[in-house]
Structure 1
Amino acid sequence: LMILGCAVVSWAQAMQPLRMEKSIEMPDVQGRIDHLSIDVKGQRLFVSALGNNTLEVIDVKSGKRVKTISSLKEPQGVLYVPESDRIYVANGDDGSVRIFDGSSYAPLKRLDYGDDADNLRYDAGRKRIYVGYGSGGLGEIDDEGNKVTDIKLDAHPESFQLEKDSPRIYVNLPKSRKIAVVDRDKHTIVATWKTDMAFANYPMALDESHHRLFVVTRVPARLLVFDTSNGKTIQKVPAVGDCDDVFYDKNRKRLYA
């Protein structure tokens, strides 16, 4: 696991690239890893080791693994919620979202979504957790770990991002070659934006203050920039192939893919 990787795609003015500070060994972890989540205050990194069926907990300061949560089923999405000190893990193989205590790592609850539970996001204002799952659904979970409702989609959701100042959720639907715009108050789709001849739109990042949505496609390897005020594509930039996540640094105005 590399901490502070180098920039893949830069945005705005040229700046010094990030440099790798350290690499962290995860002995005996087999297969690929998937998504990550950070506990900023506690300086812990949560790593979904999909191929190993484990969640690895890393102490960022010491650079050491401090805990392995096993017996998962292809863990994909992971989310740490500091307000409740809970860890949510979405499992692709059995479609479950498993909830763990953030201090003791004890299992607290399991929610079943049938198939392919994937990305997780937290709405701090509404105290809601969202999970993408199955052949087309966003599940809404309250801060007590209870199912609230489901938002139906026409294909499996990959990365999705939530606006803070509006009820909008932007959802990548690669099998439909589009982005769905969801109103999370009304629990319905309010718009769809096509990616046209760009396929496999998996990663997504959002710059809400400047009304920019960043979507990376794999075929061709391209960054698409959407204006969220009208849904129009305003820029296309070459990117890296097989991109699985993209992150926006608002201070440096950079994207990392």
Structure 2
Amino acid sequence: MKAKRTIPMALLIAFAMQALAQQSPPVPESSSLILTNAIPLPNEPGRIDHFALDPAGRVFVCIVGNDKVAVVETFSGKEIYSISVPRPQGAVYVPEFGKLFVGSRDGKLFIFDGTSYKLTGSINFFGDTDNVRYDQAAKRVYVGHGDGPDAGIAAVDPRTNQRLEEEYKLGAHPESFQLEASGQRIFVNLPDLKRIDVIDRKAGSISKWPMTKYQDNFAMALDERDHRLFVGAKTPARLVVLDTNTGQVVAALPSVADSDDLWYDAEYRRIYMPGGQGYISVFDQIGPDRYKLLEKVPPSLGARTACYAAKIGKKGAHRFFLDVPARSGRDAELWIYQAQESDQRKLLMVQRPEQWQRCGCPISRF
């Protein structure tokens, strides 16, 4: 008769854990953003600021520390050109005129040909020139510029490269601002004054919304359909949601710290908020007044600027672009994520379709 062999308890626990691991699928790094590419930006140790997208597949990255705008081709995954610009901070590409507009911390707006990258004009605003936006309906480029009493939002004609008479003085340097596509308002973050200014371009009036509880409001995005404005506050670190009809705060959620960009995804009803703390806060818009943190996507420390592109064409994909600065042993990179329906939303649509439909969310894709 053979003697019984006893198995140590620690080994039994190890076997059990291994069996559970084999039965359960691995947990994905992210269920809402899938990293599809990391394009290297070699020899770029300088600070990376905002950037612009060309629907044809180019990304224009403002690298403040290196006095340049890197032109990255997403299809080949390479930096194809370098445009010399002193301390570039923000840019917008206007496809219908084939022009790139770049704001400089030195106080100028530089205008480049979108094919040859040659300088075709410049406008001196005599003060910190930062965020740049394009209003396709009005055919105007809007520029945030200056410090102090003369700071504000100015308009430029993209056809002629000339500054227009339309201008709104705000009394402090404007950070991120958003334009209504179906209306006439411009929402502007003014962190130095602890407020948001709302410009009515038709009436020429300016409303002032205080931001004293949630300060250092730098990042901003707009959900025009639901009349919601999303603001990234740094002190304390919060995603703040305001009603654009009243200016009242309807929600405030803890978020990643040190955010400089904020993007609203109307397709999946999500808000993407990268931050220098080292991750992307992804928020789920359950309804106009209901939000929750969906997940924290771990990118890299210091990655605070980003851009979002909705699907172009039937075969396109919703993409989120993130600038990752150089870190120990690795070059700076442009990370490209593909947005997809999160696992939590898929589960809700299957288990509680009536609740999903009450949110006004599309269900036809599944």
In the superposition, the TM-score normalised over structure 2's length comes to 0.64
Which of 172, 184, 189 does residue 167 from structure 1 map onto? 184
User: 1:123 maps to what in 2?
Assistant: 135
Name 2:227's counterpart in structure 1. 211
The separation in 2 between residues aligned to 1:67 and 1:215, in whole angstroms, is 33
Q: Distance in 2 between matches of 1:187 and 1:64?
A: 44
The corresponding residue for 2:53 is 38
Distance 1:193 1:20 in 2: 37
AA at the equivalent of 1:35: H
Counterparts of 2:189 and 2:170, CA distance in 1: 10
Matching residue of 2:112: 100
Query: Of the two, which has the highest radius of gyration?
Result: 2
The equivalent residue for 2:198 is: 181
Moved more, 238-247 or 135-144: 135-144
CA distance in 2, matches of 1:213, 1:197: 16
1:56·1:69 contact (CA, 8 Å) conserved in 2?
yes
Name the residue aligned to 1:155. 172
SS class of match (1:51): helix
Q: CA deviation at 1:73?
A: 1.5
Q: Is structure 2 residue 265 aligned with structure 1 residue 252?
A: no
> CA shift at 1:185, angstroms?
3.1
Match of 2:77 in 1: 63
1:26 corresponds in structure 2 to: 41
Deviation by residue 1:167-203 (Cα, 9 ceiling, x = unmatched):
10000000011100001234441x1111122111000
The CA distance in 2 between the partners of 1:185 and 1:111, in whole Å, is: 25
For 2:243, which of 206, 223, 227 is the aligned residue? 227
CA deviations 1:67-109 (Å, max 9, x no partner) are 0001x221001110011010000001x2000000001111100
The structure carrying a bigger helix percent of its residues is 2
Count the aligned residue pairs.
240
RMSD of aligned residue pairs (Cα, Å) = 1.2
Q: State the secondary structure of the residue aligned to 1:31.
A: coil
Q: Are residue 134 (structure 1) and residue 146 (structure 2) matched?
A: yes
Match of 1:90 in 2: 103
Q: Is 1:76 equivalent to 2:89 in the alignment?
A: yes
| Residue type at the aligned position of 1:90 | G
The DSSP-based 3-state class of the residue aligned with 1:237 is strand
Report which structure shows greater RCO (CA 8 Å, sep ≥6): 2
Q: Secondary structure at the match of 2:246?
A: coil
1:225 & 1:50 partners in 2: Cα distance?
Answer: 30
Question: Aligned with 2:129: secondary structure?
Answer: coil
Of residues 192, 199, 206 in structure 1, which corresponds to 2:215?
A: 199
* Identity among equivalent pairs (%): 42
Shift of 1:233: 0.4
From 85, 96, 114, the counterpart of 2:126: 114
Return the letter of the residue paired with 1:133: H
TM-score, normalization by structure 1 = 0.91
**Corresponding residue SS for 2:225:** helix
Counterparts of 2:203 and 2:123, CA distance in 1: 23
1-side partners of 2:260 and 2:70: how far apart?
19
Q: What letter corresponds to residue 97 of structure 1 in structure 2?
A: L
